[in-house]
Structure 1
Amino acid sequence: MERDSISPEAEVNVPLELSVEEMIEQSIGVVNWTQILQAVLVSLQTFFDSQQTFISIFAHAQPTWHCTTNNKACTSRSNLCELTKTDWAWDSGNVHTSVISEWNLECTSSVFASMPATSYFVGSLLGGLVLAALGDSSLGRKNLLCISTLVMSLTALASAFSPNIWVYSIFRFLCGIGRAPLAICVLVLVTERVSRKWRPQAVMAGFIFLSLGMMGLTGIAFLNKGASWRSLYIWTSVPGIISSVLCYVFLYESPRWLLMQGREKDAMAVLRALGSITSIGTSLPKINTEQKLPKTNPFISLKILLSRRWAVKRLLASMLLAFGIGVMYFGMFLGVGNLGFDIYLTSVFNASLSLSSYMLAFLWWIQHCNRRSSLLGFCTISGAACIIFSVVGKGHKGVLIGLELTSLFCACMAFNVLLMYMVELFPTCVRNTGSSLVRQAMILGSAFDPMLVLLGNKSIIYSYGTFGLAMLLSGVLALSLPETRGKVLCDTMEEQELMDQERKLIP
């Protein structure tokens, strides 16, 4: 009876309690052209990130050489370092085609010769540890993405004017620091601005640009074949600088992050700009944001993340898993010169294979398959295939190609699933920090790849054997992580704990 006494007008005026997830689903549940263009603009930054990550394939390539005397000790299979300088010469008359030939690194130790490439990945590791939390606190996703692209591109441009390997390594280190938060910012920003239904397709755009970036790099390298390696940095860095400016002018911030910062009006403005329903309301509903991050401490999100025992366990397991995948994934691309095939053709083929894996992963696999079992399966197959063909060696090219393609495809699929998985493992208040730490573990694994690739010039078991072993061992850790397919993205640690308790994942 009391229910019947309440007028319809009174019911309408009762304030509704909305979560951030409900607000997102209500306002941008249907994809429109604004959301598509914003996703493309965000994802475009991975195009330039990919080029700077894999540019060492061509800039640091070992040039081909030929004998210049009738010395019987000089043959195509001779050890270059055991010959005198007068017995051989580079096939290209231009010694500036590679860092190796310009600075006479062909006979130096693997540690010294790989120093510029390793410096890049070490910079990425340190930069991620320092800058990751800024995306959750003071800077936000958009500003951190723009700064990351700009710093990466400017230092890449400066690399083109390096007078020696020491200065060059410093610029590569700074470039790595700059690009460290880029990939995570893209992933988080795209994920947080679309509804749950369209999340995999939106994320896929970043991976497509990642493959296109590598293809573009291969094309630039082929067109500049025989020219200085410095031209590669100029052609790949200038467009990145322009892109960072366009991002700053036209890109919208994540409405989830704005809400967690208490900027409800700004968040509603973004939701109206992105949403298919333009009239969300003239007054702001009451939104649950119990865990807003203090602006005075940019690293408070890290403290919040480490304050929960379940979060620390989840973080450590996902980081160790990412480490093994990082060793394998980046090593497979950087080590194409060890296989004895044309690096331009092989790079294009590898990029095409990774592109097909992205399409499969985000158009079908992620929507229909569990994260844990997928990671376990792909890591096992990829690691085992890599170990087998590293033992078989270069003498069986047919077997080598088949196993290499199988291993690479499964490594790409594991990489795809992991990047989607780590965004879903952590709530909004610490998502950028948690995802970045997992990403940094992946970068730590890749930091060993340049040296392993150079060791692989002697025997591929040193490179690909190590890649496969790391992948095989790390895949088991997927079993210790919770399944997240089809689950909502929680916003606070309390919401995540409540959901996990309901699923009996934590006591």
Structure 2
Amino acid sequence: MIGAGVFGHLSDSFLGRKGSLQVVCVLNGVFGVLTAFAPNYWAYAALRLLTGFSAGSVGLCSFVLATEPVGPSRRGAAGMSTFYFFSGGIAALSGIAALFPSSWRALYVVTSIPSLVFVVAVLPFVSESPRWYLVRRRAGDALRVVRAIASCNGRSIPVDVTLKLDDEGDDDAGGGGKEVDSSASASGSIIDVFRSRTTRFRLVLSVVINLLASVVYYGLSLNVVNLKTNLYISVLVNSLAEMPAYLLTALLLDRFGRKPLAIGTMLLSGIFCSAGSFIAGAGAMRVARLACGVVGIFGMAATYNLLFIYTAELFPTAVRNAALGCTSQASQMGAILAPLVVVLGERVPFALFGVSGLIGGFLVFCLPETMNKPMYDTMAGLEEGEKSLLK
């Protein structure tokens, strides 16, 4: 929760998307490996805190870095495709954990090394976000990345094309590669988000919706202990249930839009979780409860990851990671609350998950649709864009 806020700000400022991702992956891998050698409980707890500080931002930084260079017609599909790897990791974790049932130290080493491998084998070939370059007033670097992307796609950018921020006038194209001091950049902070009435309202709603979605998402994942079924199989089934949710969302995202899908998936999860709260008993009833949980996590997995795309499009580049960091903090708070709900028994957790899903679904009605809308770069550009829409 702390790391999401810290690195959300740093990735909007001097570190950038790629630099922040590199730092959090190294920290995540190093602290994870060191945890395996913890000599006592307090050393273990401290290392888990440090691991969480870094791990909480890996998904945030990588998601924004992967989606910012993508245009509106493909942004939804590209964003949802990133989450297959998240669910694939959970599915793999259930198998890896089964191989080390009595050696948690070895499990920490095996699950931490991939972060370090990623930094060495993959990240050097990933470019920085051109949008981040642009808000840092480094239009030349932004154009260089865009040209490299075009070249990889077998396309070319005309030599007379320049880039400019959406708060710049026509006479200030800024495409000559001139760099100015970072103090003149268009970067902002979470304070700037609260100063604007438009983004303040969006952020408050996004925080509450993400909190509710996280309680349900993590709660259903942890609730396998109340299902009285095989733990490893239940975790595997839950993770596999998420994958078709991503596929279905990716297919429907640019057909129906972000808002209707977020409403539909949250309500779907809420309805089935509510139904699960009325099911008691063993045998067939236990299987029925598991089925309600699977459909519930199917819907909420789609929502939980769709919210990443939705939130990223609601805020301009200058404060995008800061806003996403704030909503990620809300998600982590939901993850903290989820175990407290799970320990309430077999039926009560399902009831609370159901209510959370239904309330969250109705709150999404208050957010604007962002499908095929431009991703603004600055706060001023967003305000001007909103005014033009009202006109």
8 Å CA contact 1:389–1:400 kept in 2: the answer is: yes
Counterpart in 1 of 2:172?
A: none
1:235-274 alignment, distance < 5 Å:
235-274=110-149
1:328 and 2:216 matched: yes
Offset of residue 432 of structure 1: 1.3
2:78 counterpart letter in structure 1: A
- Structure 2 CA distance, aligned partners of 1:407 and 1:286? 44
Counterpart in 2 of 1:374?
A: 261
1:369 counterpart letter in structure 2: F
Deviations 1:28-80, CA, capped at 9 Å, x for gaps: xxxxxxxxxxxxxxxxxxxxxxxxxxxxxxxxxxxxxxxxxxxxxxxxxxxxx
Q: 1:230 aligns with which of 105, 118, 141?
A: 105
- Structure 1 CA distance, aligned partners of 2:162 and 2:319? 24
1:361 counterpart letter in structure 2: T
In structure 2, the CA distance between the partners of 1:359 and 1:237, relative to structure 1 (3 Å rule), is: same
Counterpart in 1 of 2:199?
A: 311
Deviations 1:141-173, CA, capped at 9 Å, x for gaps: 001011111111211112212233332222111
1:150 and 2:26 matched: yes
Counterpart in 2 of 1:385?
A: 272
Q: 1:399 aligns with which of 273, 288, 313?
A: 288
In structure 2, the CA distance between the partners of 1:490 and 1:394, relative to structure 1 (3 Å rule), is: farther
Deviations 1:403-445, CA, capped at 9 Å, x for gaps: 2222111111211321211111111111111122112211111
In structure 2, the CA distance between the partners of 1:266 and 1:293, relative to structure 1 (3 Å rule), is: closer
Offset of residue 281 of structure 1: 4.3
Offset of residue 297 of structure 1: 10
Q: 1:425 aligns with which of 314, 329, 346?
A: 314
- Structure 2 CA distance, aligned partners of 1:293 and 1:178? 31
1:193 counterpart letter in structure 2: P
TM-score after normalising by structure 1: 0.69
8 Å CA contact 2:84–2:243 kept in 1: the answer is: yes
Q: 1:460 aligns with which of 346, 361, 371?
A: 346
Moved segments of 4+, more than 6 Å = 291-294
1:463 counterpart letter in structure 2: P
Counterpart in 2 of 1:196?
A: 72
In structure 2, the CA distance between the partners of 1:158 and 1:468, relative to structure 1 (3 Å rule), is: farther
Counterpart in 2 of 1:484?
A: 370
Counterpart in 2 of 1:217?
A: 93
1:182 and 2:58 matched: yes
8 Å CA contact 1:294–1:300 kept in 2: the answer is: no
Offset of residue 175 of structure 1: 1.0
- Structure 2 CA distance, aligned partners of 1:330 and 1:293? 44
8 Å CA contact 2:4–2:53 kept in 1: the answer is: yes
- Structure 2 CA distance, aligned partners of 1:320 and 1:297? 33
Deviations 1:349-371, CA, capped at 9 Å, x for gaps: 11111011111111x12111132
8 Å CA contact 1:391–1:461 kept in 2: the answer is: yes
- Structure 1 CA distance, aligned partners of 2:14 and 2:184? 8
State how many pairs are aligned.
376
- Structure 2 CA distance, aligned partners of 1:501 and 1:180? 35
Offset of residue 463 of structure 1: 3.2
Range with bigger deviation, 460-469 or 483-492 = 460-469
Identical aligned pairs, as a percentage?
30
Counterpart in 2 of 1:499?
A: 385
Counterpart in 2 of 1:14?
A: none
8 Å CA contact 1:378–1:414 kept in 2: the answer is: yes
- Structure 1 CA distance, aligned partners of 2:36 and 2:223? 23
1:392 counterpart SS class: coil
- Structure 1 CA distance, aligned partners of 2:72 and 2:65? 14
1:285 and 2:285 matched: no
8 Å CA contact 1:371–1:483 kept in 2: the answer is: yes
1:365 and 2:247 matched: no
Q: 1:438 aligns with which of 306, 313, 327?
A: 327
8 Å CA contact 1:255–1:271 kept in 2: the answer is: yes
Pick the structure with greater CA Rg: 1
- Structure 2 CA distance, aligned partners of 1:163 and 1:386? 42
1:330-345 alignment, distance < 5 Å:
330-345=218-233
TM-score after normalising by structure 2: 0.89
2:376 counterpart SS class: coil
1:460 counterpart SS class: coil
